[in-house]
Amino acid sequence: MFSIQDQITELLGVPTSSCGNQYIYQTCPLCFDNKKHFYINSQTGLWDCKKCGESGNLYKLKKELGVTKDVKILGLKKKENKPQSGIPFN
C-alpha cells in the first residue's frame, strides 16, 4: 500500500527534519523560501508554508507543482449503496 509518507517523499523528497508528525522542509516548493518554513503533516498530508501562507492537501500540492503522475490520497472511504440521512428542516 502507498502510504501518505511515501506520497510525500515521492513529491518532495526526504524532509530536512521532523517535529512530532510534522515534516519540515528546507525550501517551500511554492515561494522557494529556504528558511524551513514549509511543514507537511505526515499523517494527513495537510501542508502549509509559514512564509507565503499557502496551504492545502496533497491533491492541491500536486496540482500546484504541476505533477502529472497520479498521487492517491488515502483516507476514509464512503460506504456505497447506503443512503445518507438528511437533516429535517421544520
Q: What is the mean pLDDT of each run of 10 residues along the chain (90 residues)?
A: 83 93 95 96 95 94 82 53 54
Q: What pLDDT is stored for residue 67 in this prediction?
A: 85
The distance in angstroms from the start CA to the end CA of the chain is 46
pTM: 0.71
Q: What pLDDT is stored for residue 47 in this prediction?
A: 96
Yes or no: say if 48 and 59 are a contact pair by the CB < 8 Å rule. no
Q: What pLDDT is stored for residue 24 in this prediction?
A: 96
Q: What pLDDT is stored for residue 3 in this prediction?
A: 85
Which H or E run includes 49? strand 47-49
Instruction: Quote the CA–CA distance of 48 and 55 in Å, as a whole number.
Output: 4
Sheet of 17-19: strand order equals: 17-19, 22-25, 38-41, 47-49, 55-56
Q: What pLDDT is stored for residue 40 in this prediction?
A: 97
